[in-house]
Amino acid sequence: MRVLIAAAGTAGHINPAISIANIIKEKEKNSKILFLGTTRGLENDLVPRAGYELKTISAYGLSKKISIDNIRKMRKTVKGIFEAKKIVEEFKPDIVIGTGGYICGAAVMAASAYKIPILLHESNAFPGKAVKIAARKTNTILVSFKDAIKRIPYCKNVVYTGTPVKIKKREFKPSEKLEIIKSIGLNDTKPIVLFFGGSQGAQKINDAICDIIIQNKNKDYQIIWAAGPKQYDKIKSNLSDKNININNIKNCKVFPYIYNMEEIENIADLIVSRSGAMTITEIANLSKPSILIPLPNVSNDHQMYNAKVLENVGASIIIKNNDLTGEMLNAQIEKIISDKYIMEKMGKNAYLVANQNVEEKIYEEIRKLL
């Protein structure tokens, strides 16, 4: 099987694409897989690191505003369509797969020109512009959440498969869990709350956690905090101004980035985070209660729609970004961790929206299309 996969920009687009490539390689070892991206996104790091070849084209997200910059981007994007067609002509894929983002437009148009089967995967509960625009020319669209099906009216074959993620549910023995907790520098006498805001951190969430720490409000729970590489030093300085050593905070461990996230998410009792599609999928798969602070000002407010997937089944509490304060966040944390029944119930509810064997389902849809 020869497969061209279009994935660009953020890890939310690229990691599912890599997972799809991996399952194809696992099932059909002689497959040839080529990635299509841009020169600007994380694909330039993540795709080669995963062992796949990447070809780049000119492609940009376009706004509705008329400006010289937007006209320039439009011209480059049109050029990118011809570049994509040339790559398709040379590579001769049996199928073209896209995982959302502006790169999909060029990929779909190039594949359509050569009558090559097209499959798209949409991770968010509210589909992005690229997927909705490309729907008419797409044979199959796979979605992460059932709610997304009704929001893609122009594709005849929309299938609920879920999103492939690296982090899986793991059942640790009590001794194994304790060893992980101790290796972090915490203990198993108080609930553990995991905070993260994406790979780069989230300033609004970080500010709220700083307030909790400065006011010493986390007496009844422990914090594991992925602050983000770009924000860690600033947080360290701000806490130092309050005579708080970032490496010696009671009931709290702060990291620029957490590399063993699968272990940490599995041992956490409560997760506080943004609501990207992959995060929602991980929380559901892990059966964890959560507090979600959707990132505002993103396309179609899709993080809010993602968060509502868990809120609607009683698995999560949503706090709007503009409403977030340390006091409010602490109150919601204490409300959840103070009642083991609530924590257990929220966790079980999260699992209601989990989808198992995602990679197998996606591979099956690819085979059907071919």
pLDDT above 60: residue 350? yes
**According to the model, what pLDDT value does residue 197 have?**
85
Q: Mean pLDDT in the chain? A: 92
In this prediction, residues 45-55 reach a mean pLDDT of: 95
pLDDT in tens, 219-270: 999 999 999 888 999 999 999 999 999 999 999 999 998 989 999 999 999 9
The domains found in the chain, sorted by start residue, are 2-162+357-369 (3.40.50.2000), 174-351 (3.40.50.2000)
**What percentage of the chain reaches a pLDDT higher than 90?**
76
pLDDT in tens, 130-177: 788 888 899 999 999 998 999 998 888 999 999 998 888 999 999 999
**According to the model, what pLDDT value does residue 65 have?**
65
**According to the model, what pLDDT value does residue 156 have?**
86
Paired tokens of 76: 């480059």
pLDDT above 60: residue 62? no
d(CA 83, CA 345): 52
Paired tokens of 361: 């389902």
Please indicate whether residue 317 or residue 296 has the higher confidence score (pLDDT): 317
Q: Which residue has the tokens 């101790």?
A: 182
d(CA 6, CA 96): 8
Residue 336 CB burial class (10 angstroms; 0-12, 13-18, ≥19):
buried
**According to the model, what pLDDT value does residue 73 have?**
62
Of the listed ranges 127-131, 172-176, 280-284, 313-317, the least confidently predicted one is 127-131
**According to the model, what pLDDT value does residue 268 have?**
97
d(CA 73, CA 212): 44
Q: How confident is the model at residue 42 (pLDDT cuts 50, 70, 90)?
A: confident
Give all strands of the β-sheet with 192-196 in edge-to-edge order. 252-255, 222-226, 192-196, 270-273, 290-292, 316-318
Q: Report DSSP state, residue 136.
A: G
Number of Cβ within 10 Å of residue 2's Cβ equals 13
pLDDT above 90: residue 192? yes
d(CA 196, CA 44): 24
**According to the model, what pLDDT value does residue 129 have?**
80
Enumerate the β-bridge partners of residue 224: 194, 253
**What percentage of the chain reaches a pLDDT higher than 70?**
94
Q: How confident is the model at residue 193 (pLDDT cuts 50, 70, 90)?
A: very high
